[in-house]
Structure formats: C-alpha cells, structure tokens
Chains A and B, each alone.
Chain A
Amino acid sequence: MLDLIKRYWKTITRPSAYYSLGFLTLGGFVAGVVFWGAFNTALELTNTETFCTGCHEMRDNVYQELQTTIHFTNRSGVRAKCSDCHVPHNWTTKIARKMQASKEVWGKIFGTIDTREKFVGMRLELAQHEWARFKANDSLECRNCHDYGSMDFTRQSPRAAEMHSTYLANKEKTCIDCHKGIAHRLPDVAEAKEK
C-alpha cells in the first residue's frame, strides 16, 4: 500500500516528459471549465422542484401542503419553489447545506419517513431543524425575496405594519419567529413546548 502511494507520488511530482507546458496549462484550464460547469449543472439539478418532488416523501406530504399556500398560487404568479426557502442562495452556504443533505439521502435510502405515519411522527423534529436554521441565519431565505428595506409599511395592514416596524425593525424578532407554518402545515406545537 505504502509502495503504491510512493509510486504515484513520484509520477505526480516528476515533470511531464511528453506533453508540452502549453498543452498541460490550456488542457488543465479547459478540463477545469468543463468540470466546474458540469458540477454546477448537477448541483442546480438538485435544486429543481422536479428533483425534490421526485421522491414520494416530498411529493405526497410537504409539496401537497405548499400548493394551498400563497407561496404557490397568488395574484401575481410569483412563486417560491422548494430550494428558494430550503437551500441557501450563497455558494459557500449552499455547499454546506448540500453536504448536510447527505443525511437526507441516507434517510431516503433507509426509508426514515417513507410512510405518512412515519412522516407525521417525525414532522416536529424536521420542522425544528428548519426553524433553528432560519433563526440562526436571520431568516436569510425569507429575506432573499422579502427585503426589509423595500417594505412599505403604509401598504401593510395596521397590525402588520406595527409588528414589522417594532419587532422586526429592532431585530428582536426575525421572520420565522412569527411566520412559522406559512408554507406547510404545522406539527403539534404543544409537544414542542413540553420538551
């Protein structure tokens, strides 16, 4: 084993005997572009709604619930898809979240929530993960569209305007503190308080 590593190390550290420097540089550059493009394309593919709802766990539970909310149908037709809220848009945080998602792949393979009963049973825990994530990043995925600076309080209902101009303005609260369960049904929250 050690010999094998040594042999490869020698090959890698030795200068190339047959290929020109130009070929290696340009070839490396082109290969890099191709690799990077392919990587990002594959990554974006996992961000599509077709990909998310490809599994019955997502399609039959959370996706059905989303369809009744304002984030799916509304007067102007602007809508949020799964990744808009559940995957960070920033590249580094996105990669971090994608690595975390390997646990979701594990869950899919071993059928952690492959029945409605299992899903309902685990729903509170899953929801709490998302609430914690939103709380930690100051509801970044909400703010990607709902920009505080662009909010016109005078166009809001008096109640909403008052809440936003106090609690949201003084950063005491973030979006998710009040707006839980806006895109999916809420689990039994009384259970959460017991813990």
Chain B
Amino acid sequence: MSITAPIAPAAWRRGLRLLALLLCLSLAGMPVLSQQKKPPPEPTAPLLDAMRGTTPIDKESAAPLIYSVENKDVRRTRQYAMQPPTIPHSIDGYQVDKDFNRCMFCHSRTAAEAARSIPVSITHYMDRDNNVLADVSPRRYFCTQCHVPQADAKPLVGNNFVDVEQLLQRKPGVMGSSK
C-alpha cells in the first residue's frame, strides 16, 4: 500500500538519477566517514578549567564554598596609589539605587562624624570636567563599581604583583629594577 501519489515516468527517471548521484557521493565519502568514526585520542591530562575544575562539560560541577566577607572594620593598605580602597566590612543587602544609597548613609560628608566613617573624597563630587558638584557625581554613585568587600579566599589564579615601593628598592640588574 502506497501512501504517496503515483509518480509520472519522467519524474521517476529524474528521481533515479538523483539517487544514483547520491549513492556515488556517499561511496566516495566512505573512507572519510570511517576515519571520523575512530575514537578521539584520549586526553593525556584530565580537563582542567579554573572555574569547572576537572568536572566534564556534561556534568554539573559542585558549587564552590561561599567565603564570608571580612567584617573587621580595619582599613587595608592600598596596593598602589590609585587603588580604590577596599570595603573593610560586610555590605550584605545594601540598597544602592536611584532612591537610596546605603553607603552614603554613613560615608557622606554630613554623616561622617556621627557614623565615624571616612567620607568619600572630593573626587567623588567632581564631574568629568573636574567641576565640583554639591552632591556625589552620578558617575561615582554606584560604589561597588570600584569599591568591593574582601574575603579570605584562595585565589583562583596566581599573580606576581610587586608593590611599586618594593620594585624601586630592587638591586641593579634584577628584572624591573629602576637602576
């Protein structure tokens, strides 16, 4: 029993020609296909990704531990002169939006004395043409763009950063020495 409509002889011939062509092509492609079917070489080392670890891509990796934020309220040394100071306390649930800025609740010019906080520097009141505004400049409004709390966490990647002061004290001939 056929479910298709009867095909006219001309169309039959065209169809057969096409089938023959496809057959030839597939035969020609055979060696290539058989080569591809070989299993890929076993990786010498297991997959290692900074974020995923050795978890295969089709498996869900275990979520890393969330480190608790340091809440000691002790000012940290800046690693370089222009570094935005890091936040020495927890900022969980702080609201910083168009309605309210929880950071400025304590770090504003007027609140600093009562809150015994460090008021934000004058640069935060400047627009990009260095005009000093009455309130925090919109481009400096979202504190966590630059300032972040810190956790005592294992770094994901290593680095060999050297403080510029130490760099200046390096002996002549050592890489990075100024003398």
A interface residues (Cβ-Cβ under 8 A, vs B): 68-70, 157-159, 162-163, 181-182, 185-189
User: A188: which B residues are within 8 A, CB to CB?
Assistant: 98-100
B116 touches A157 (CB 8 A): no
B49 in the interface, Cβ–Cβ < 8 Å?
no
Q: Which 3 A-B pairs have the closest CB atoms?
A: A186-B100, A188-B99, A158-B73
**Is B13's beta carbon under 8 Å from chain A?**
no
Q: Which residues, 66 to 106 on B, are CB-close (under 8 Å) to A?
A: 71-73, 89-90, 92-93, 95, 97-100, 102
Q: Is the CB of B99 within 8 A of A185?
A: yes
In whole angstroms, how far apart are the Cα atoms of A157 and B88 in the complex? 11
Q: How many angstroms from the CA of A187 to the CA of B98 in the assembled complex?
A: 9
Give the docked Cα–Cα distance between A70 and B94 (Å). Answer: 11
Alpha-carbon separation in the docked complex, A148 to B164 (Å)? 48
Contact with A along B110-147 (1 / 0, CB 8 A): 00000110000000000000000000000000000000
Whole-angstrom distance between the alpha carbons of A182 and B105 in the complex?
13
Cβ of A157 and Cβ of B93 under 8 Å apart? no
Contacts of B92 in A (CB 8 A): 70
Give Cα A41 to B49, complex, Å.
59
Looking at B89, B92, B95, which has the most chain A CB atoms within 10 Å of its CB? B95
Instruction: State whether B99 touches A189 (Cβ < 8 A).
Output: yes
- Report Cα–Cα, A157/B102, bound state, in Å: 18
* Least distance between A156 CB and chain B CB atoms (Å): 9
Which secondary structure dominates chain A's binding surface? loop
* B contact residues, range: 10 to 19
List CB contacts (< 8 Å) of B25-79 with chain A.
71-73
In the complex, A187 Cα to B72 Cα: how many Å?
Answer: 30
Whether B100 pairs with A181 at a CB distance below 8 angstroms is: yes
Q: Is the CB of A68 within 8 A of B100?
A: no
Shortest CB-to-CB span from A148 to chain B, Å, is 20
Partner of B95, one of A158, A159, A181: A181
CB contact between B72 and one of A68, A69, A158 (< 8 Å): that residue? A158
Nearest B residue to A184, CB-CB: B95
Given contacts A159-B89, A187-B100, 5 further A-B contacts (CB under 8 A): A69-B93, A70-B92, A157-B73, A157-B90, A186-B99
A106 to B95, CA, bound (A): 32
Instruction: Judge whether B93 and A70 touch: CB under 8 Å.
Output: yes
A185 to B97, CA, bound (A): 10
- Cα–Cα, bound, A31→B59 (Å): 66
Chain B hits for A162, CB < 8 A = 116
